[in-house]
Amino acid sequence: MAEEPGDGGQYDLLIVHGHIIDGSGSPWFEGSVAVKDGKIQGVGRLVNPTAKRVIDAAGLVVAPGFIDLHCHSDFDLLADGKAQSKIRQGVTTEILGESDSAGPVLGPAAPGFDKGLEPMGIKRDWTTLGEYFARVERQGTSVNIASYVGSGQVWDDVLGNVNRRPTAEEMGKMKQLVDQAMRDGAIGLSSGLMYAPNMFATTEELIELAKVAAKYGGIYTSHIRSEEGTAGVRAIGEAIRIGEGAGLPVHILHFKMNAKANWGRMEEQVRFVQEARDRGVDITANQYPYVAGMTGLKQCLPPKYLEGTSAEIVARLKDPARRAEIRKAIENGLPGWDNNEVRSVGGWHGVLVAACQKPESKKYEGKRMDEIAAMMGKDPTDALCDLLISEDASVWAIYFSMSEADVELAMKQPWLGIGSDGSAVNPEMTFEGKPHPRFYGTFPRVLGVYVREKKVLTLPDAIRKMTALPAQITGLTDRGMLRPGMAADITIFDPKTVLDKATFEDPMQYPVGIRYVIVNGVVVISKGEHTGAKPGHALYGRGKQGRIRVRTYTQLLAPSLRLSQSFLAALPNP
């Protein structure tokens, strides 16, 4: 591999001698990719091309830039726009806004929102999602961004973190906020139904919010209510019901089979989604290539203890009677509580603390909860409650809850793309603690482990799951393929060496084998090193250009699309 200044002329950048995998799933072909003014001008066997800069990609794969279908870089990009842990994976576009989006922010949501930004040193100067996009553009970023508007965000804006039914007036305000965000450029509505206040919304309320997104050509994306066995299938069914009721596509985040008791049941979930697609439901999913997830440590608590502000949550944990209730619930379960995280991982050793904020708590990062309990000289429930109290209920944890066989079966499905569920960070961000290795390794891990070593996927199909499929799902029509006229987002890697280095014990390690990453025609990673360039842009949904009138899926497709009445009756309506 060599790089040389070109002799000027036709193009700004010319990539030659590479094995081109264009994102479509087709086999590689040898040729060149020509770039000018941030766009791809030519792909293939070009005739006597000239350029200002030439990259010789002999022995390397030239692919579209990877699109991360699910990430949480909304504010990390304001702390460091270089997006180090993502751009070094070959990611050129981040999809933001799961359940709690960067905007709109007002009313009861504002104090807690601003408090969450304090460890990053960020002061909010925006209210709407559009103003957040403008802030990112002003500061500069090495990757592109697109965002959903979160159902939990608008609920918190209007009602706060409370479990009650909204009045007609409050529901109208939430719909207005979704409408505004869609016109600001949101790509759809997202929900995180395992989290407060998202979990308080009923299916019908979510349908009403999703109808607003549908008017602007958006999609409905969900962290479903449960990811365990039969409950997980019911939760996917609820997402389908919302998509059909509102008339828009459905996308499931981090498709998985949780809890050791359910290992081996991924086939049921896959079959359920495939049957829905076979009858005409536009449903897709994404996945990260790991057997552990990451979320708040407070998710170990039963749902009723998650309502209210962080101060209210902490106050409950200080009450001995309530603490006894928590201990009993975790040990024995509760009717309707499908997300008992401690039981799902087989006990306290399956919960690893990833990030704390207080200096005195940093010693617990990277330790399992049974180890932390021993360090404290307390029983695990008391250790859990006391750590949450000391950290104002804001602690991140990793949960080892999945099987490798289920991960691989899900990965093979043609309707499943790749999403890290991580953030764009760097090792100097001490507030991130010891995060999940997916922050640093998701995409190279797929290429190195699941393509090259395990051969779960072919290389062209893996790249399709990172590029063209995510672009199709999110409606980013000018990304995801190497075609003339498309945006010049390009990743160049060595298929023989590409691999993740991040581990659960030592997660803050960049991958190897990603040689060049180009964003909007600008080289950001050159010979494996960051150039400091920040050519990323905010990418907008269809509503930014005005309301799009679309017919519902029940109008467009055959009546067989609709679910049977018996199936609908069996779905939960919390």
Domain match, 390 and 418 both: no
Amino acid found at 85: S
Determine contact, residues 43/482, Cβ cutoff 8 Å: yes
Domain match, 351 and 461 both: no
Domains of the chain: total: 2
Domain match, 424 and 500 both: yes
Q: Is residue 439 part of a domain?
A: yes
Q: Is residue 223 part of a domain?
A: no
Closest CA to 482 of 497, 463, 499: 463
Residue whose tokens read 């429930």: 381
Residue whose tokens read 């200080």: 318
Distance linking the first and last C-alpha atoms of the chain: 58
Domain match, 408 and 394 both: no
Q: Is residue 416 part of a domain?
A: yes
Closest CA to 265 of 222, 230, 234: 230
Domain match, 364 and 407 both: no
Q: Is residue 489 part of a domain?
A: yes
pLDDT of residue 555: 35
pLDDT of residue 3: 58
Closest CA to 331 of 340, 339, 323, 322: 340
Per-residue confidence of the chain (574 residues) as pLDDT tens digits?
455 565 668 999 999 999 999 999 999 999 999 999 999 999 999 999 999 999 999 999 999 999 999 999 999 999 999 999 999 999 999 999 998 999 999 999 999 999 999 999 999 999 999 999 999 999 999 999 999 999 999 999 999 999 999 999 999 999 999 999 999 999 999 999 999 999 999 999 999 999 999 999 999 999 999 999 999 999 999 999 999 999 999 999 999 999 999 999 999 999 999 999 999 999 999 999 999 999 999 999 999 999 999 999 999 999 999 999 999 999 999 998 988 999 999 999 999 999 999 999 999 999 999 999 999 999 999 999 999 999 999 999 999 999 999 999 999 999 999 999 999 999 999 889 999 999 999 999 999 999 999 999 999 999 999 999 999 999 999 999 999 999 999 999 999 999 999 999 999 999 999 999 999 999 999 999 999 999 999 999 999 964 443 333 333 333 333 333 343 344 444 3
Closest CA to 54 of 563, 494, 573, 516: 516
Tokens of 44: 């293939």
Alpha helices in 189-333 (DSSP H): 203-215, 229-246, 266-278, 310-317, 320-332
pLDDT of residue 339: 87
DSSP assigned state of 143: S
Whether the upstream peptide bond of residue 197 has omega within 30° of 0, thus cis, is yes
pLDDT of residue 431: 86
Tokens of 357: 């904020």
Question: How many other β-carbons are positioned within 10 Å of the β-carbon of residue 116?
Answer: 15
Helices 168-184 and 151-158 pack at an angle, to 10 degrees, of: 130
pLDDT of residue 90: 99
Amino acid found at 176: Q
Instruction: Give the C-alpha separation, 468 to 486, whole Å.
Output: 12
Residues in the chain: 574
Q: End of a domain among 400, 434, 459?
A: 400
Query: CB neighbours of 425 closer than 8 A, spacing ≥ 6?
Result: 76, 80, 84, 85, 432, 435, 439, 440, 508
Query: CB neighbours of 53 closer than 8 A, spacing ≥ 6?
Result: 3, 5, 6, 12, 13, 14, 523
Domain match, 371 and 433 both: no
Domain match, 160 and 111 both: yes
Instruction: Give the C-alpha separation, 74 to 379, whole Å.
Output: 36
Q: End of a domain among 400, 415, 441?
A: 400
Determine the structural domain holding residue 358 and report its residue range.
Answer: 296-400
Q: Is residue 285 part of a domain?
A: no
Distances (CA, A) of 139 to 281, 406, 535: 40, 41, 11
Distances (CA, A) of 419 to 70, 254, 301, 308, 473: 5, 7, 27, 30, 12
pLDDT of residue 2: 52
Instruction: Give the C-alpha separation, 387 to 376, whole Å.
Output: 10
Q: Is residue 510 part of a domain?
A: yes
Domain match, 159 and 107 both: yes
Instruction: Give the C-alpha separation, 11 to 54, whole Å.
Output: 10
Q: Which helix (H) or strand (E) holds 30?
A: strand 29-36
pLDDT of residue 554: 33
Instruction: Give the C-alpha separation, 25 to 465, whole Å.
Output: 9
Instruction: Give the C-alpha separation, 31 to 49, whole Å.
Output: 12
Q: Is residue 144 part of a domain?
A: yes
Q: Is residue 291 part of a domain?
A: no
Helix (H, G, I), strand (E, B) or coil at 367: coil
Query: CB neighbours of 309 closer than 8 A, spacing ≥ 6?
Result: 111, 112, 161
Determine contact, residues 365/434, Cβ cutoff 8 Å: yes
Domain match, 341 and 420 both: no
Closest CA to 244 of 569, 552, 475, 542: 552
Q: End of a domain among 380, 400, 420?
A: 400
pLDDT of residue 9: 82
Domain match, 396 and 423 both: no
Instruction: Give the C-alpha separation, 196 to 185, whole Å.
Output: 25
pLDDT of residue 556: 34
Domain match, 380 and 441 both: no
Q: Which helix (H) or strand (E) holds 514?
A: strand 514-519
Question: Domain with 471 in it: what CATH number?
Answer: 3.20.20.140
pLDDT of residue 560: 33
Determine contact, residues 65/535, Cβ cutoff 8 Å: no
